[in-house]
Copies of this chain bind each other. A is one copy, B any other.
């Protein structure tokens, strides 16, 4: 690698690692998708995702809120509610998530074909 290539390479890596930090891990995208699909309440989200625990969900929600992907709202009413919704900004993730979904399906078939 030349110096120029090296510099570009490091920038790429950084950008990708940034993305991974925000949406990486087992649960972050499932949580986003769950909310996107209409689940607003903590327990609804919790129950919609197999095997996630409240402890982990709590942390993921905080992380996603800090990264502007979801919004946490206290809704006043007969009894106070908490509601999570995705942000407009979150929709930009579509460009990342859709290819991931497609690739995941393709890859599963690829591996199946071999074994």
A binding-site residues for B, Cβ under 8 Å:
1, 5-6, 9-10, 12-20, 22, 24-26, 29-30, 33-34, 37-39, 48-50, 67-68, 89, 92-93, 95-97, 99-108, 110-111
Tell me which residues across on chain B come within 8 A of A110, comparing CB atoms. 68, 89
Residue among B12, B68, B92 making CB contact with A101, cutoff 8 Å: B12
Mostly, the A contact residues are: helix
Whole-angstrom distance from the CB of A99 to the nearest CB of chain B?
Answer: 5
The 17 sampled A-B contact pairs (Cβ below 8 Å) are: A1-B37, A1-B48, A12-B101, A15-B108, A16-B33, A17-B26, A17-B30, A17-B104, A18-B105, A20-B24, A20-B26, A20-B100, A24-B24, A89-B110, A95-B102, A95-B103, A99-B99
